[in-house]
Amino acid sequence: MAKLYFYYASMNAGKSTTLLQADFNYRERGMATMLFTAAIDDRFATGTITSRIGLDQSATPFDAKTDIAAIVADKHAHEKVACVLVDEAQFLTAAQVDQLAHLADVVSIPVLAYGLRTDFQGQLFEGSARLLALADSLVELKSVCECGRKATMNLRVDAEGKAVAHGAQTEIGGNDRYVALCRKHFTERSAAAR
């Protein structure tokens, strides 16, 4: 039976790198994969999964209206899809996560979703919340806080590196906009910004 996996972590934990390695492993064995990434993530190139260590791969961009199950079913009808891999899975809608569960349960295609668990205010993203509820396997990838503890939170910062406490849930950025911290340091720095 195929499974739905959710690999989650704070920023800079290597989620995209791990996804690209999994994709490579399938393709190296001659198996077809399908990669998806959030269309909103335009830090490098729309429709490309890019890791901070320089790896990249083309992917199908998705937004809230994308029917991922239909796209996969169309390709699967012509060529067996061995695995579906989704980067930036926090940006999925709950309905899209249900589609991924359908692909695993009914179509028997394993689905590996990678994303953030929480936003810069410590709140769950819609896609992450649904994945936490439905995934057969939850895997936390580790990142490190400036103090050496495990980083689990994402602090949004301004151009001077000061914590930002308010704003839209989604603001695309990298090391210039976000810092991965342990809960203790996230709480301290967030409180200072309020």
For 24-62, how does the pLDDT look when each residue is reduced to its tens digit (9 = 90+)?
Answer: 999 999 999 999 999 876 666 677 787 877 787 889 999
Entry pTM? 0.91
Point out the residues that are catalytic: 88
Check pLDDT > 60 for residue 117. yes
Q: Which residues carry a binding-site annotation?
A: 9-16, 87-90, 145, 147, 178, 182, 185
What is the tens place of the pLDDT at every residue in 80-106? 999 999 999 999 999 999 999 999 999
* Residue boundaries of the structural domains of the chain: 4-142
Strand partners, 30: none
Residue given tokens 């308010």 in the structure block: 166
CATH number of this structure's domain 4-142: 3.40.50.300
Single out the residue of 82, 81, 68 nearest to residue 36, CA to CA. 68
Q: Can you say which residues are annotated as belonging to the binding site for ATP?
A: 9-16, 87-90
What percent of the chain has a predicted confidence (pLDDT) above 90?
A: 66
144 pLDDT higher than 70: yes
**Helices in 106-173 by DSSP H: which ranges?**
126-134
Phi, psi of 9 (to 5 degrees): -170, 175
